[in-house]
Amino acid sequence: MSSPHITLVHLSDLHFGGYADLAQIEALETFIPTLGASAAVVSGDLSQRARHGEFQAAHAFFQRIRAHMPLLVVPGNHDLEWWRSPLGIFGQTVKYEKYARYFGDLTPVLELPGAVIAGALSSYGVAFGSLTWNLRDVAVKGHLPASETSRVKAIFDQAPAGAYRILTFHHNALPGGISRRHGLANWRSAWRRLLTTGADVVLCGHDHTEGAGQIGGELAVSTSGTHSSRTRGGRPSVFNLVKIDGRAVHIQHFRWESSGGRFLRSDTNSFARRGAPVAVSVAGGEHES
Ligand SMILES: [Fe+2]
């Protein structure tokens, strides 16, 4: 029997450093505790260049949110020092040392009453699994190894029956609404494996544009925007509030209104859970093409 519902704040791409919008960060600190959420999830890119000061600013922000609710965070492509081990020549751990010093586990799990949230690692820097034929993708694109999707499946398999299963990683699982770009290399394989994990919803970011859609007509995807000045097309920043109930996943967008210095409730997209008809996606790409 599922819990009545669970509500999660979904943030991404804060990019502390030169591009972070402090007015938004400060507004988030006061607004998030009013939303009645059980937890906050940050799907990566806390920093711009994985610098100590950027991580420290993110850490302080997270501590202020954690005064109100648990918070889970995974690293984005900007949060690892890939240049310390390109193509893994000096091992994998060195790339994540600085991030781990501040935020610990790269793949955290958070158990809540009636829900389990699992973090997966999609950010590897310049790595064989993330390479494509497009030079723009070097150190930007991510991938989801089979070992990650099977590890997450095992976590979800062991969760209590009826618990909502939430998966988060950094790279956008659906193509961006403006960019039309996938965040994951080998996305067809990733989609097939994501559908086997048992997740109810994927929370991701990376594209700097909000989105809500489905993979295969059954797995909802929440893509949160950025709170830096680097939005696409000059559009306002957006973060998401994700509510799961027994029947559906509801993805509510909150749009930044810079003149008023506040976030405004915007569109909601609702997707039926397992086995329901495919819903229209503002992020596009609910089927392979
Ligand atoms: Fe980003």
Percent of the chain residues past pLDDT 90, beyond the cut: 79
Judge whether residue 280 has pLDDT over 60. no
Return the higher-pLDDT residue of 126 and 269: 269
Question: In a 3-state reduction of DSSP, which class is residue 85?
Answer: coil
pLDDT of residue 135: 63
Confidence check: pLDDT of 129 > 80: no
Structure tokens at 117: 């949230």
| pLDDT on residue 285 | 39
Q: Tell me the CA–centroid distance for residue 35 and ligand 1, in Å.
A: 24
Question: Ligand 1 mean position to 82 CA, how many Å?
Answer: 15
- Tell me whether strands 262-272 and 248-257 are parallel, antiparallel or unpaired: antiparallel
| pLDDT score of 21 | 96
> Is 74 a residue whose pLDDT tops 80?
yes
pLDDT in tens, 184-207: 999 999 999 999 999 999 999 999
For residue 96, the surrounding DSSP H or E stretch is helix 93-103
pLDDT at residue 284, rounded to an integer:
42
Return the beta strands (E) in 113-189 as ranges: 115-119, 164-168
Distance CA 163, CA 112 (A): 9
* Confidence class for position 75, pLDDT limits 50, 70, 90: very high
Ion ligand 1: residues, Cβ under 5 Å: 13, 45
| Stretch among 23-32, 85-94, 127-136, 225-234 having the lowest mean pLDDT | 127-136
Output the CA 228–ligand 1 centroid distance in Å.
9
CA of 13 to the centre of ligand 1 (A): 5
CA of 34 to the centre of ligand 1 (A): 26
Give the tokens for residue 76. 């984005």
Residue 12: what pLDDT?
Answer: 98
Tokens found for residue 202: 């994927």
pLDDT at 140: 81
- How many Å apart are CA 204 and CA 221, to the nearest integer? 8
Judged against a pLDDT cut of 70, whether residue 283 lies above it is answered with no
Whether residue 288 has pLDDT greater than 80: no
Ligand 1 centroid distance, CA of 76 (Å): 7
pLDDT: which is higher, 129 or 99: 99
- What's the whole-number mean pLDDT along residues 10-28? 97
Give the separation between CA 265 and CA 181, rounded to whole angstroms. 26
CA of 208 to the centre of ligand 1 (A): 6
C-alpha of residue 25 to centroid of ligand 1, in Å:
15
Residues in contact with 262: Cβ distance below 8 Å, sequence separation at least 6, in sequence order: 27, 31, 256
Kindly indicate the confidence band of residue 276, based on its pLDDT and cuts at 50, 70 and 90. very low
Calculate how far, in angstroms, residue 207's C-alpha sits from the geometric centre of ligand 1.
Answer: 7
Contact 168, 211 (CB under 8 A): no
Q: Rounded distance, CA 14 to CA 147, Å?
A: 28
Mean pLDDT of 125-141: 72
Q: Is pLDDT larger for residue 232 or for residue 277?
A: 232
Q: What is the mean pLDDT of residues 118-124?
A: 97
Q: For residue 15, report the distance from its CA to the centre of ligand 1, in Å.
A: 7
Total H helices, total E strands in the chain: 5, 12
User: Residue 2: is its pLDDT beyond 70?
Assistant: no
Q: Measured in angstroms, how far is the CA atom of residue 176 from the centroid of ligand 1? A: 13
The answer on pLDDT for 278 being more than 70 is no
